[in-house]
Each structure stands twice: as C-alpha cells, then as structure tokens.
C-alpha cells in the first residue's frame, strides 16, 4: 500500500541516513526548512488525517517550547530586543532557537517515517547480512516478546479469578507481579527447550547456513539509489565550496547566494521531497487505474 516501503531495505537505509545526516550536520536554515517540509509531507502521506491532526497538536507546543528555550538561556548575539531579569534577550538567540526547533522536529518526523517504513524484518535483513546469527536471534526475540506478554496476561487473569494478589494491598500486588513474572519466565524456558528441539529437527546447526530474505534489489531501487547519490553529491558540493555556511552568532550572516549554493538547495529539496513524490505518484496512478475500470 505504501509505495515507498516497497523499496529494498538497503536503498531505504541509505536514503534515510542521507537525509538525517544532512539535516543534522549542515547548519543551514534553508536545508533545515526543506528537511522539515519533506518530513511533514511524507508523514502526512503515511498517516491518516486523524493521526496527522494528533501529530500537529503534539509538535506545535514542542516547537514553541524548543524555540523559546534558547533565548531564555543563551544571551549571545548583538541585537538586543529587551532585558529579562537583567539578562539581554537577543534576536539572534531567538532565531537560533527557531532554527533549533525546526531541526529537532524535522529529525523527529524523519525518525517517525523511518519507523513506519523500516519494519522489523527489514531491519533484521540489513543487520543479518553482516552477522547472520544476530539476525536469527533478533527474529526469535521479536517472536518471543509478544508471546511472553500474552502469557503474562493469561496467568495474571487466572490468578485474579482465584482472588489472588488482587487485594488493595500494594505489596500483595507487587508480590503477585513478581511471582507471575518468574512463573512465566520458567514457562518460557520450558518452551524454549521445545523450540530448540524444533530447530534441531529442522537441521539448525548444519554447516553452511544460508540467509533468505524476501527482498529483491529491483531496477527501481537502483534508480532511487542513483538519484539519491546524485542529489547528495550536489548538496555536498555546495557544502564543500563553503556556500552553505551560515552563522547565527554574534550576528546572523551567511554566504550570499551562488550557483553551487542554489544547486545544493535544489538538490536537497528534491531529495527530501522524493518519498512524498513517490507516494503521490502512486496515489494518482491508483486513482487513474480505478477510474479507468
């Protein structure tokens, strides 16, 4: 359903790393705004209206708090707006605060998109390539956690129905929780014996284990990766020429707009908008196909 999540995990990892690293380490207001815009549009595409509205309600206060915190504690800068408790509050610190808040929220939103797109099996696949044993352990752990939780609740319920460990006394309840925890742990260990038997029965431990995944590196992955690399080159070139430098203290100053700088902005802008464009294209195509039927 989500077009972007259909890409190969490696392509996706490289994409997210490029965007996140650039947004975090290139201290440039345009870059930061682009990162925020891209993340916001992408997140809105991934979620339904209700979730997006909830997000906005959550991020706006966070934005205001982050933006206001900086001028309260940092008194650098030359343009003094007013004095508070005998301390100067400067325009530079204020703007720096806003930039900080933009970056913070952009990074948070990108991480959110990352967690939606990179499901556990993609993660395991990526790290499994490096350490095959680890990927199996991770996969087993991910299987184990919900099982443990379910069993815990079952035991808790059974005990409650006997009227055990559910009195008003706090220590009684705590004791019940601890006992349940230890019982479910030994239950799980007991089960682990059976799991290991099942693994052995299916040949675990034979030499030359291979690693299967359902992911395939398709042509569109190559295309996205190539785009990604090109756009990153364009962005980094701007940075390398020093055209993206920007200072907030003591006075706001940046390099004047030049060709490499402009190129970098365009490249990064396109890069951050890529997932949104891909999702949008998919949606339009989908609508188009439906309308044809």
Partner 1 sequence: MEILHIENLSFRYPKCESYAVKDINLNICAGEFVVLCGQSGCGKTTLLKLIKRELAPVGEKSGEIKYNGTDIKELYDRASASEIGYVMQNPDSQTVTDKVWHELAFGLENLGLPQEAIRRRVGETASWFGIQGWFRKDTDKLSGGQKQILNLASVVAMEPQLLILDEPTGQLDPIAAADFISTLLRLNRELGITVILAEHRLEEVFPVADRVLVMDGGKIILNGRPENIERGLLSLNENHPMLSGMPGAVRIYNMLQRRLPDIFNPSELKPRGECLLTVRQGRDFLEEHFKGEGQGDVKPERQEEPYAIEMKNVWFRYERDLPDILTGMELRISRGELFFLLGGNGSGKTTVLNVISGLNKPYRGRILIDGKSIKDYRGNALYRRKLAYLPQNPQTVFLKDSVRADFVELFKALEISRADYEPKIEKISEKLGIEGLLDRHPYDLSGGEQQKCALAKILLTEPEILLLDEPTKGMDAHSKLALKAVLKELKTEKMTVAVVSHDVEFAAENADRCALFFDGSVISSDVPEIFFAENSFYTTAANRMARRLWKNAVTCEQVVEKCIEEAGKRRKTVGEDGNKTCEKI
User: Which residues form the interface with partner 1 (CB under 8 A)?
Assistant: 120-121, 136, 139-140, 142-143, 146-147, 150-151, 154-155, 157-168, 179-180, 182-183, 186-187, 190-192, 194-195, 197-214
| Nearest to partner 1 of 57, 161 (CB atom) | 161
In angstroms, what is the minimal distance from the CB of 280 to partner 1? Answer: 25
Contact 99, 249 (CB under 8 A): no
Enclosing H/E stretch for 26: none
Q: How far apart are CA 145 and CA 136, in angstroms?
A: 14
Peptide bond into 250 cis (omega under 30): yes
Q: Which two tokens stand for residue 175?
A: 């004791």
Residue 216 C-beta-side C-alpha neighbours within 13 Å: 3
In angstroms, what is the minimal distance from the CB of 184 to partner 1? Answer: 9
In angstroms, what is the minimal distance from the CB of 189 to partner 1? Answer: 9
| Nearest to partner 1 of 15, 165 (CB atom) | 165
In angstroms, what is the minimal distance from the CB of 222 to partner 1? Answer: 18
- Long-range contacts from 280-284, C-beta under 8 angstroms, 24+ separation: 280/45, 281/3, 282/3, 283/45
Cα–Cα distances in angstroms (integers) from residue 199 to residues 39, 177, 185, in the given order = 42, 32, 20
In angstroms, what is the minimal distance from the CB of 160 to partner 1? Answer: 6
In angstroms, what is the minimal distance from the CB of 142 to partner 1? Answer: 4
Contact 23, 110 (CB under 8 A): yes
| Nearest to partner 1 of 61, 163 (CB atom) | 163
| Nearest to partner 1 of 86, 205 (CB atom) | 205
Contact 78, 92 (CB under 8 A): yes
| Nearest to partner 1 of 1, 293 (CB atom) | 1
| Nearest to partner 1 of 209, 283 (CB atom) | 209
């Amino acid at each position: 359903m989500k077009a972007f999540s259909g890409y190969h995990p490696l392509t996706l990892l490289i994409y997210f790393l490029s965007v996140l690293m650039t947004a975090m380490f290139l201290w440039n207001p345009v870059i930061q705004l682009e990162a925020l815009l891209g993340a916001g549009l992408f997140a809105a595409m991934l979620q339904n209206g209700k979730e997006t509205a909830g997000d906005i309600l959550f991020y706006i206060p966070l934005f205001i708090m982050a933006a206001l915190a900086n001028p309260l504690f940092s008194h650098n800068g030359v343009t003094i707006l007013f004095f508070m408790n005998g301390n100067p509050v400067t325009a530079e610190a204020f703007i720096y605060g806003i930039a900080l808040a933009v970056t913070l929220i952009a990074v948070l939103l990108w991480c959110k998109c990352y967690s939606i797109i990179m499901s556990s099996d993609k993660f395991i696949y990526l790290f499994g390539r490096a350490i095959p044993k680890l990927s199996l352990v991770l996969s087993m752990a991910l299987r184990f956690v919900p099982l443990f939780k379910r069993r815990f609740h079952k035991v808790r319920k059974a005990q409650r129905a006997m009227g055990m460990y559910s009195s008003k006394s706090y220590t009684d309840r705590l004791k019940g929780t601890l006992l349940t925890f230890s019982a479910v742990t030994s239950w799980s260990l007991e089960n682990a014996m059976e799991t290991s038997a099942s693994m052995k029965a299916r040949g675990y431990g034979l030499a030359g284990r291979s690693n299967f995944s359902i992911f395939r590196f398709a042509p569109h992955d190559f295309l996205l990766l190539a785009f990604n690399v090109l756009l990153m080159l364009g962005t980094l070139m701007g940075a390398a020429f020093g055209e993206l430098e920007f200072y907030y203290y003591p006075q706001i100053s940046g390099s004047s707009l030049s060709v490499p700088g402009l190129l970098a902005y365009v490249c990064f802008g396109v890069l951050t908008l890529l997932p949104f464009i891909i999702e949008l294209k998919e949606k339009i195509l989908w609508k188009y196909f439906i309308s044809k039927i």
